[in-house]
A and B are shown apart, each in its own frame.
Chain A
Amino acid sequence: MPDLSITRGPVSRRLPRRHTLAPFLLQAPSVTALLLWSIVPLVMTLWFSFRRYNLLEPSQTGFAHLENYRYLLGDPSLGPAILNTFLLVGWVLVITVGLGTLLAILYDQDFFGRSVTRVMVVAPFFVMPTVSALIWKDMLLDPENGVVAFLMRSVGLKPINWFGTAPLTSIVLIVSWQWLPFAVLTLLTAVQSLDQERKEAARMDGAGPLAMFIYIIRPHLGRAIAAVTMVETIFLLTVFAEILVTTGGGPGYSTTNLSYLVYRYALLETDIGAASVGGVLAILLANLVALFLMRSIAKNLDA
C-alpha cells in the first residue's frame, strides 16, 4: 500500500519515506566496496611501514620501529623525489592554466572553422599516457631523427638530447601537452557561461580587450581556475607512466617523483617496508591538497 501522505511541498527533494531499510540496501554495495578499497590498503600501508618486510628476504620479519622511516629519510633520492614532485606539479600547472586561459579566450571568439580547431586542441587529453610519452620521446624529441631536432638544425641550432640534458623539462613538456586540453576545455566552458549581455554592455561602455579581460572575464574565471588547479594537482601528484616509459626516473634521480620512488622500492628493490613509508608520504601530501579541494567541493554541493 503506497504512502499517500505527502506533507512537504512538491519542491521538496525528499520523497515520502516507506522503508528506512531501502536507502541502506541501495547504497550498501557502493559504500562497502569503496570502504574496503579506501581503508584496507591504507591500514596495510601504515602497518607495513613499521615492519621489516623484503620480498627477497622472507626470513627478515618483525617490528621495525622507525627503521624504515629512518632508512627512507637517509635515502639521497628522497629529497629530489619530493622536489621533483612539486616541480612537476607546479610547472605543469603554470603552463596549462596560463596557456589554457589564453586559449579559452581565443576559442571563444568567432572565426572560420572554430569548431574543428576546438576538437583538435582537446584531442591530446584522450591519448593514453604511454602513447603520448612515446610519441614525444621518439618521434618529436629524439636528438637524431626527431622533428624538433630537425627544426633546430634547419635554423642552425645544435639539437639537444632532451631526456639527457633537460629530463624533467621534457617530462613537464609531455605532461603539459596532455593536460592543456583539460584546462582549455574547462575554462572555455566557464567563459561561455559568462553572460553575453554583460560582455556586450562592457563593450558598449568602451571597454577594450584588456579591460574586458581584467574586469569581466578574469573574476568570472576564478572558480574555474581553482577547479582546474585542484583537479590537475590531484592527478599530477601521481604521474607515473610517462616517467616509466621515457626516463625510468633518471638520469640519476632527476625525474624520480614520489610515485616512481614507491614503485622502485616496491617492485624493483622489493622492499615493502620502505615502499610503504614512501606511500605514507604520498598519502600525506595528497591529503594536504585534498583538504583544500574538499572544502570547495562541499561548497559547490550547496550551490
Chain B
Amino acid sequence: MPSKSRNHQLRARLLLTVLGWAVALLVFFPILWMILTSFKTEKEAVAGIQHLIFRPTLQNYHDVQQRANYAHFAWNSILLACGSTLAALLIGLPAAYSMAFRPMRHTKDMLVWMLSTRMMPAAGVLAPIYLLFRDGNLLDTRSGLLAVDTLMNLPIVIWMLYAFFRDVPAEILEAGRMDGAGYLREIFSLLLPLSMPSIFSTSLLAIVLAWNEAFWSLILTAAKAAPLTVYIASFSSPEGLFWAKLSAASTMAILPILVFGWISQRQLVRGLTFGAVK
C-alpha cells in the first residue's frame, strides 16, 4: 500500500508540475515573445509566428541606441528613479525614525494621513499641477519630475521604514542614549547600520515604482527630461510601427527593473498593502 500512495503522490506532483509550468508560460509569454522579437529583423517581426526559428540579430539594439538616442532616456530614468528614491529616503527616514521611536498622541493619524496623500487620484490634480509646472518653467525638466516622483514615493518610504523600525528593539537605542549619543549619532551610528537591509529593500521598491511611473511622466515631460516610459510611448504613433525596435527598446527598459522587482517582491506585498499582508 505505501508504494501505491507514493505513486499516487508522484502522479499528483507531475500533474501540478505540468499545470504550474503551463500557467507560468502563458502569463510570461508576452515578455518572452517581446524578447524573442527584439532579436528578429523588422520583416520577421511582423511575420507573426511563422518565424519561430530565425537567425538572431543584434541590429535592433544597435539601431535603437544609434538613432533614437536610447541612452538619453535611460539616463533620465536612472536619474529620476534613483534621485527620487534618495530624496524620499533623506526626508522620510528622520520622520519614520521619530514616529517609530517617539510616537506622540497623533502619530497614528499622521501616518494614515501621509498614506492618504498617495491615494489622491492623479487626474484630480492634473490641471493645477500642469499649470504650476508651466508657470514655473518646470515642464520637461528633470528637477520638476524628480520632485513629483519624490512626493509619490515619500508616503510609501515613510510607511515601510516605520514598519521596519517598529521591529527594532527600543532598548538598543536606549543603550546608546545612556552613552550620551545625540539624535544624529543615534540615527547614523546605531539605527542606520542596524536597519540597512530594510532601507535597501525599501529603496528597491521605491526605485521600481518610480522607474515605471507613467502618468506624470507623460503629462509633464516630452523629450529633454523624458524617461523610458515616455520614450516607449512614442512607438504608439502610426509611423512608428517598428515592432523589432520597439521590442529591443522595451527589453532594455524592463530588464534591470525586472531583476530589482524580483528581489523586492516580498517588500512589495508589505509595502503596497500597507502592512495588511506580511
Contact = CB atoms under 8 A, between A and B. Distances in A.
Interface of A: 2-4, 6, 10, 12-17, 22-23, 26-27, 29-31, 33-34, 37-38, 40-42, 44-45, 48, 103, 106-107, 109-114, 116-140, 144-147, 149-151, 177, 180-182, 185-186, 189-190, 193, 223-224, 226-228, 231, 234, 237-238, 240-241, 244-246, 258-259, 261-263, 265-267, 272, 275-276, 278-280, 282-283, 285-286, 289-290, 293-294, 296-298, 300-301
Contacts of B103: 13-14
A225 to B, nearest CB: 10
B17 A44 contact: no
B20 A139 contact: no
A185 B254 contact: no
Most B C-beta atoms less than 10 A away, residue of A110, A140, A279: A279
The dominant DSSP class at the A interface is helix
B34 A135 contact: yes
Given A6-B174, A238-B123, A279-B124, 12 more contacts: A10-B170, A29-B91, A30-B114, A34-B151, A45-B128, A110-B13, A126-B208, A139-B33, A147-B48, A189-B278, A263-B123, A297-B115
Contacts of A297: 112, 115, 274-276
B221 interface: no
A189 B24 CA distance: 18
Contacts of B17: 111-113
Give the size range of B's interface with the partner.
35 or more
Shortest 5 CB-CB contacts between residues of A and residues of B: A126-B261, A44-B128, A41-B125, A117-B24, A241-B214
The dominant DSSP class at the B interface is helix
A132 B29 CA distance: 12
A280 B124 CA distance: 6
B160 interface: no
A185 B95 CA distance: 29
A267 B212 contact: no
Interface string B167-184: 000110110011010010
Interface stretch (B56-64, B192-200, B232-240): B232-240
A238 B121 contact: yes
Interface in B89-127: 91-92, 94-95, 97-104, 108, 110-117, 119-127
Nearest to A137: B236
A62 B110 CA distance: 37
Nearest to A122: B265
Contact of B30 (A42, A177, A181): A177
A117 B246 CA distance: 26
A33 B154 contact: yes
A116 to B, nearest CB: 8
